[in-house]
A and B are shown apart, each in its own frame.
Chain A
Amino acid sequence: MTTLPTSTQKKLGLVIDLDTCVGCHACVISCKGWNTENYGAALSDTDAYGANPSGTFLNRVHSYEVQPAQGEAQLIHFPKSCLHCEDAPCVTVCPTGASYKRVEDGIVLVNESDCIGCGLCAWACPYGAREMDAVEKVMKKCTLCVDRIYNENLPEEDREPACVRTCPSGARHFGDFADPDSNVSKLSAERGGMNLMPEQGTKPVNKYLPPRPKDTLAVPEGDIDILAPYLEPVAQEAKGFLGWLDKTLEKI
């Protein structure tokens, strides 16, 4: 068993905006690229060109259809990676201390040299956010790009996770939730940032912004259409229209 720090100096994490995520997988592949080349073992791909290709990814995008009680069905894109929980069950379950939560910033990491590949942490994670690398036999997970965010070899503006830097629609934001004035704290407060599966008691650091209400222009039958006045006819047919045109042009 491994213990969690009682508190961390920072709570670094992500805000993921489900209202703007178009499901393009840019974050998935950027993450794959950076983390294949960086922190720990490469992310392998078995049977890469075969019948059952299977690779290690630290971030995946799932898509869910939602059928509201009224109105059209919706498709929600849901990117998922480690949420760097404050009460991370994947850490406490680790028999070797390989899984740990950093005191300085709250990032949950796996120290690969201590990982025996037992897989208990992946079982303990209610989000399915850890993946065992099939070639290296070590547990892989989101590092929040710990080797980018402080990296002095990168320009300062690039010191953010690869998934955030690459996201084309600006649906991913990185910052310190311990600071109420940070971009992520404010965004989360404004837009009603949600915890994923709060009933699990894991206290995830990452927050999801819910999709805004959709199809609000679809007026239910019988309701008053507030836009109707905008279409008040100026004429019923071509001749009347010309009269209106003439009159209106006079005024211009």
Chain B
Amino acid sequence: MNQPKLDLSPKVSDEVRKTTCYMCACRCGINVHLKSGKVAYIEGNRDHPVNKGVLCAKGSAGIMQVNAPSRLKAPLKRVGPRGSGAFEEISWDEALQIAADWLEPIRKDNPEKLAFFTGRDQSQSFTSLWAQSFGTPNYAAHGGFCSVNMAAAGIYTMGGAFWEFGQPDWDHTKLFMLFGVAEDHDSNPIKMGIGKIKARGARVVGVNPIRTGYNAVADDWVGITPGTDGLFILSLVHCLMKAGKIDLNYLAQFTNAPCLVNGDEKSSDFGLLLRDDDGKELVIDRATGKLAPFDQKGVKPDLAATHRHAGISHRTVMQHMAERYLTDEYAPETVAEKVGISAKRIRTLAGEIARVAFDEAFELDQEWTDFRGETHKTMQGRPVSFHAMRGISAHANGFQTCRALHVLQIILGSVEVPGGFRFKPPYPKPATAHPKPHCKVTPDSPLDGPHLGFTHGPDDLALKEDGTPARIDKAFSWENPMSSHGLMHMVISNAYAGDPYKIDTLFMYMANMSWNSSMNTGGVMKMLTDKTEDGEYVIPRIIYSDAYSSEMVAYADLILPDTTYLERHDCISLLDRPICEADAAADAIRWPVIEPDRDVRGFQSVLCELGAKLGLPAFTNDDGSQKYADYADYIVNHERKPGIGPLAGWRMGEKGLTNGRGGVNEGQLDSYIKNGGFFVEHIPEGANYYKPWNVDYQDWAVGMGLFDSPQPYLFSLYVEPMRRFQLAAEGHGDRQPPDHLRDRIKHAMDPLPMWYDPAPDNKSEEYPITALTQRPMAMYHSWGSQNAWLRQLHGHNPLYLPTKLMRENDLVDGDWARVTSPHGEITVPVLEMAALNENTVWTWNAIGKRKGAWALDENAPEATKGFLLNHLIHELLPPKGDGLRWANSDPITGQAAWFDLKVRIEKADPQSESQPSLPPIESPVGNDPGDLVWKVGK
């Protein structure tokens, strides 16, 4: 044979620089290969705790994000009307002066006139410090429309949540059940985990109206009716309790199931837990039959006890649960039709859960000691694990649904045990160990504490003296008392309405509010461009920072152009949302592996400079000079408290370098870079399960600086803070809700999970079909579909209809349909999909683009065929006829309920473009540079 001679060992690159991906929220480690100083190839970092070498499509396509023509090039000042996209480039000096001139008087007179909201920010512990130092109560990131229900329900119930904050015990689990999981958080670890357990023959059950992605490879698919997950889960709870397939040991020792609930209907403590003088929850000790604090050494808490005192019976949480969940209200036969799953299938699933949890239970030969001082010879395993995401949380009943799922996990004894679901540091961390919200505004001074946190009763609400909401988004108000992440999605509409008050400047970062990051997109565009009678914009000033020419750019007055993720410093911090694993604490950095070729600056570095210019205490030295030269300087030198900084690795101890607690080390970033951009500290063997109660873990966590003292706690099947809000609604206490909210608070704030149907409020009688979105695995947020490689995978987004609806409406693939909700109408192309709940339609999220944005050609399919469901969703529910308008959100947390969207569908005439088709915006970076051949090597 005459074969050509090949060079089988070509040089791969000049240099490999290791940093952290930012193509989604997964935060994988990446090896960036450079040739002649340019990015030649990106692959996963094998040593990295998150992705262990693998990398998704987004990660590998980062190279096209860094060369994207949509990158902003310089600071911009608006010269045309808002929304036109007409800007002129200005210098950074001018940009910072404009910002300072706007913000200085606000801070001096009334800091609340600044609303500072950061979208897909991964530096929230930094941006919140800036806002706190400025003194405005109006700060949050995007959790309120993303998944606060999941985070808050998890933390209030068990001191930790799903999302990327915990993971199944992939090495031991035998049944993995996922609910409504999107693929944009912890995505590579979940893919790796699913691959791993399937290779072992473990069963994966996917509960989701749509059978794509993880649900497509699931061994069993449960195509549930959207919004009914809570009812389905409580039916599983019913079956398991009725069959006694619950872990009584676990419930008695580690949860508040044996805690006694005050049964005195006349007391202002009715429904609260009985406590001793030290505030400790009381149980009845089975050994003595007497009251004892839950954590007393040797106590055997009695799940079935009743404490009789002064003619009143105080019963355990377990008894209250039995009373609620054993009724036929939750029987499979009762719920089957509503949830769209046959009673037989519900029983089969409950039976399989019971079989695996108890028949396949195992023990790890590992001794450990609990917080009561009792030593256990082994670790009991329960190989059933769960994971859930936005699909169950973005509903008006999402908080209670997430709570229901945690209750299911807990009665099985499958949290923080071998084979179950495990927390990642800094979790477990009970709600009581988190800050409470702060909102006290003092002119020319910082806020009185951190903005966001966890409320434990009416006293913790963020209200002004007159009882009105202290925050522009009305977070922590009676409308949504436990809104731990704020409500970014309400900021613009509230600011526009001047309710609860007017603001002066809206300052946003990485939040595409005039497009895919808002409900009621068209309405938001109007609010941003509307003027008062005297010709001023209703929202007077808007500052926006983004790396790309997104739709939101056109709606701002001043643009601060950010860098791409390979051109910047970042820290993925234990103070924030770190990259930990269940077996290790870990954090990471980004560092400029390439230098920007444009006049752009990392947003956080800009805040360091702007903060100093404004004289913010946290960003200014005593002599008035700038405290942190840039974000890197902050990362290394900032200390939240002595010995605790943004990064836990390579701190300076008394005898040299140390981890966790330690002083500032000027060489810290170099150490991170040398180590591949991350730091890992493993949890010792024996401390890595049963963490909330395991003294070895608690001591390790204190040593690492995660807590200042051990924080053992009980899981809250019964969430007492919710009962405190109910008591207020019943008339107890000084802080009283407005009368129109009393009934809703009494109902929604049930301390034991229940289910209510959000469909009728969304007019499901007239609009019987649920419309959902999900992100493709190859894209994240709106920035994905400008990526030259990724947009070839998902260039436009048809509306997928189940076979039944295709037939009913005489539709075939490629036809167009008019989709109408109580709020609006869109006309879009349709495609049939059989593996779909028969009353559900869906599309890919955030692919549709506004013409002129993202440097795409105006005829790009994203702009002509692509579309947003957001046009159909309003931030308020349709009028109910009671004269009030109720928010389209969860009444507990304020989470945007965008998965409650109900629509009607009818066949439409063929269209040349999806409707509504909005006029193009002017692009500040030009459009469509043509063909692309990106080879940087020779």
- Chain B, residue nearest A214 (CB): B219
- In the complex, how many angstroms separate the beta carbon of A153 from the nearest chain B beta carbon? 5
Check if A69 is an interface residue, CB within 8 A of chain B.
Answer: no
Tell which of B214, B220, B859 touches A51, judged by Cβ atoms closer than 8 Å: B859
Do A153 and B9 touch across chains, with their CB atoms under 8 A apart? yes
On chain B, the residues within 8 Å of A207 by CB distance are: none
The smallest beta-carbon distance between B611 and chain A, in angstroms, is: 37
B53-61, B379-387, B884-892 - the one binding chain A: B53-61
User: Does B933 have its Cβ within 8 Å of any Cβ on chain A?
Assistant: yes
Contact of B60 among A21, A30, A38 (CB under 8 A): A30
Interface residues of A in 210-228 (CB under 8 A from B): 211-212, 214-219, 221, 225, 227-228
B-contact 0/1 string along A6-29, CB 8 Å cutoff: 000000000000011111111011
Known: A49-B928, A51-B861. A25 touches B833 (CB 8 A): no
Residue numbers in A under 8 Å from B303 (CB-CB) = 245, 249
Taking CB atoms, residues of chain B closer than 8 Å to A1 are: none
For the complex, is B221 an interface residue (Cβ under 8 Å from A)? Answer: yes
* Contact between A166 and B10, CB atoms less than 8 A apart: no
Which B residues, 364 to 412, have Cβ-Cβ distances below 8 Å to chain A? none
Surface stretch bound by B, among A70-78, A117-125, A174-182, A193-201: A70-78
Which residue on chain A has the smallest CB distance to residue B786? A49
* Bitwise interface map of A from 145 to 159 toward B, beta carbon under 8 Å scored 1, else 0: 011001111100110
- Please tell me if the beta carbons of B778 and A30 are within 8 angstroms of each other in the complex: no
User: What residues of chain B lie closer than 8 Å to A166, measured between beta carbons?
Assistant: 43-44, 53-56, 60
In chain B, positions 343-380 with a C-beta closer than 8 Å to chain A are 344-345, 347-352, 354-355, 358-359
The stretch among B71-79, B186-194, B895-903 that forms the contact with chain A is B186-194
Nearest CB to that of B863 among chain A residues? A51
A129–B220 CA distance with the chains assembled, in angstroms:
32
The smallest C-beta distance from B180 to any residue of chain A, in angstroms, reads 16
| B792–A245 touching, CB < 8 Å | no
Residue contact A24 to B57, C-beta cutoff 8 Å? yes
Known A-B contacts A33-B42, A214-B221, A231-B243; A50 and B859 likewise in contact (beta carbons under 8 Å) = yes
CB-nearest residue of chain B to A242: B304
Q: Do residues A19 and B55 form an inter-chain contact, with CB atoms below 8 A?
A: no
Contact, CB under 8 Å: A37 / B220: no
Contact with B along A48-78 (1 / 0, CB 8 A): 1111011101000000010100001111110
A42–B351 CA distance with the chains assembled, in angstroms: 55
The answer for the CA separation of A248 and B318 in the assembled complex, in Å, is 14
Q: Which one of B8, B35, B198, B788 lies within 8 Å of A48 (CB-CB)?
A: B788
- Contacts A50-B857, A231-B354, A242-B319; is A33 near B252 (CB within 8 Å)? no
Judged by a CB distance under 8 angstroms, whether B860 is at the interface is yes
Q: Is the CB of B835 within 8 A of A73?
A: yes
Contacting residues of chain B (893-938) with chain A, CB-CB under 8 angstroms: 927-937
Question: Complex: how many Å from CA A111 to CA B214?
Answer: 39
Name the residue on A nearest B219 (C-beta). Answer: A214
Q: What 1/0 flags go to B529-550 for Cβ under 8 Å of A?
A: 0000000000000000000000
CB of B933 within 8 A of CB of A44, answer yes
Please report the total number of B residues contacting A with Cβ < 8 Å.
118
Contact A234 B191 (CB under 8 A): no
Q: Does B834 contact A (CB under 8 A)?
A: yes
* Residue of chain A at shortest CB distance from B4: A111
Whole-angstrom CA separation of A55 from B793 in the bound complex: 10
- Are A249 and B41 within 8 A (Cβ)? no
Whether B2 and A97, one on each chain, are in contact in the complex, defined by CB atoms closer than 8 angstroms, is yes
A55 touches B934 (CB 8 A): no
Complex Cα distance, B777 from A150, in Å, reads 31
B351, A227: Cβ atoms closer than 8 Å? yes
> Is A45 a contact partner of B931 (Cβ separation < 8 A)?
yes
Chain B residue numbers with a CB within 8 Å of A158 are 46
B855 at interface (Cβ–Cβ under 8 A)? yes
A111 CB, nearest partner CB in chain B, Å: 5
Q: Which residues does chain B contribute within 8 Å of A234, judged by CB atoms? A: 242-244
* Residue from the list B213, B248, B359 in contact with A24, Cβ < 8 A: B213
B417 within 8 A of A: no
Whether B90 is near chain A, meaning CB under 8 Å from some CB there, is: no
Contacts of A100 in B (CB 8 A): 1, 3-4
**Closest residue to B46 on the A side, CB-wise?**
A157
* Alpha-carbon distance between A167 and B8 when the two chains are bound, in angstroms: 23
Q: Are A244 and B244 in contact (CB under 8 A)?
A: yes
Q: Quick check: B348 and A245 within 8 Å, CB to CB?
A: no
- A72 and B835 contacting across the interface, CB-CB below 8 Å: yes
Chain B residue numbers with a CB within 8 Å of A24 are: 56-57, 183, 187, 191, 213, 777-778
- Assess whether B219 is in contact with A212, with CB atoms less than 8 Å apart: yes
Distance A227 CA – B348 CA, assembled complex (angstroms): 6
Nearest CB in chain A: distance from B836 CB, A: 8
Most B CB contacts (10 A, CB to CB) among A28, A38, A217, A246 go to A217
CA distance A6 to B355 in the complex (A): 55
With contact pairs A228-B351, A234-B242 given, residues A219 and B286 touching in the complex (Cβ less than 8 Å): no
A168 on the B face (CB < 8 A): yes
B833 pairs with A65, CB closer than 8 A: yes
A96 interface residue per 8 A CB criterion: no
Contacts of B792 in A (CB 8 A): 45, 53-55, 57
Q: Provide the bound-state CA to CA distance between A215 and B60, in Å.
A: 34
**Chain A residue contacts of B245, Cβ below 8 A:** 230-231
Q: Are A230 and B248 in contact (CB under 8 A)?
A: no
Say if the beta carbon of B63 comes within 8 Å of chain A. Answer: yes
In the complex, which of the residues B4, B223, B302, B936 contacts A249, with contact meaning CB atoms closer than 8 Å?
B302
A51 touches B777 (CB 8 A): no
Check A32/B344 contact, CB under 8 A, given A19-B217, A24-B183: no
> Complex: how many Å from CA A230 to CA B358?
9
> With a CB–CB cut-off of 8 A, which chain B residues contact A76?
216
Tell me, yes or no, whether B856 is within 8 Å of chain A by CB.
Answer: yes
Q: How close is A58's CB to chain B, nearest CB, in angstroms? A: 13
- Give CA–CA (A249, B80) in the complex, Å: 75
Query: Is the CB of A5 closer than 8 A to any CB of chain B?
Result: yes
- When distances are taken between beta carbons in the complex, the residues of chain B under 8 Å from A36 are 934-935
Which chain A residue lies CB-closest to B344? A219
Q: Shortest CB–CB separation between residue A214 and chain B, in angstroms?
A: 6
Name the one of A49, A154, A162 contacting B860, with C-beta atoms under 8 angstroms.
Answer: A49
Tell me whether B310 is interfacial, beta carbon within 8 Å. Answer: no
Closest Cβ–Cβ distance, residue B412 to chain A (whole Å): 13
Cα of A74 to Cα of B327 in the assembled complex, Å? 36
In this assembly, does A165 line the interface, its C-beta being within 8 Å of a C-beta of chain B? yes
B791 lies within 8 A of chain A by Cβ: yes
Q: A24-B183, A75-B211, A162-B43 are in contact. Are A225 and B933 (CB under 8 A)?
A: no
Q: Is the CB of B10 within 8 A of A147?
A: yes
Quick check: B183 and A249 within 8 Å, CB to CB?
no
Kindly state the separation between the CA atoms of A231 and B237 in the bound complex, as whole angstroms: 11
Rounded to whole angstroms, the CA-CA distance of A240 and B548 in the bound complex is: 63
* Nearest-neighbor residue (CB-CB) of A219 within chain B: B348
Which residues of chain B are near A252, meaning CB under 8 Å?
248-249
Report chain B residues within 8 Å CB of A77: 216-217
Task: Tell me if B857 and A51 are in contact (CB < 8 A).
Answer: yes
Residues of B within 8 A of A46 (CB): 931-932
Q: Assuming A20-B195, A169-B191, is B793 touching A25 (CB within 8 A)?
A: yes
What are 20 A-B interface contacts by the 8 Å CB criterion?
Answer: A20-B198, A26-B56, A49-B786, A49-B856, A51-B857, A74-B211, A75-B835, A76-B216, A77-B216, A97-B2, A111-B4, A151-B9, A153-B9, A214-B220, A215-B219, A225-B344, A232-B243, A237-B326, A245-B322, A249-B304
- Beyond A75-B211, A230-B245, list 19 extra A-B contacts (CB 8 Å): A29-B778, A29-B793, A45-B792, A55-B789, A72-B835, A73-B211, A170-B196, A171-B195, A215-B220, A217-B219, A218-B345, A218-B348, A225-B347, A225-B348, A230-B351, A230-B352, A231-B245, A241-B242, A245-B248
Which residues does A use to contact B, with CB under 8 Å?
5, 19-26, 28-30, 32-34, 36-38, 42, 44-51, 53-55, 57, 65, 67, 72-77, 97, 100, 102-103, 109, 111, 113-114, 135, 146-147, 150-154, 157-158, 162, 165-171, 211-212, 214-219, 221, 225, 227-228, 230-238, 241-242, 244-246, 248-249, 252
- What are the 3 closest A-B residue pairs judged by CB atoms, nearest first? A227-B351, A73-B834, A168-B191
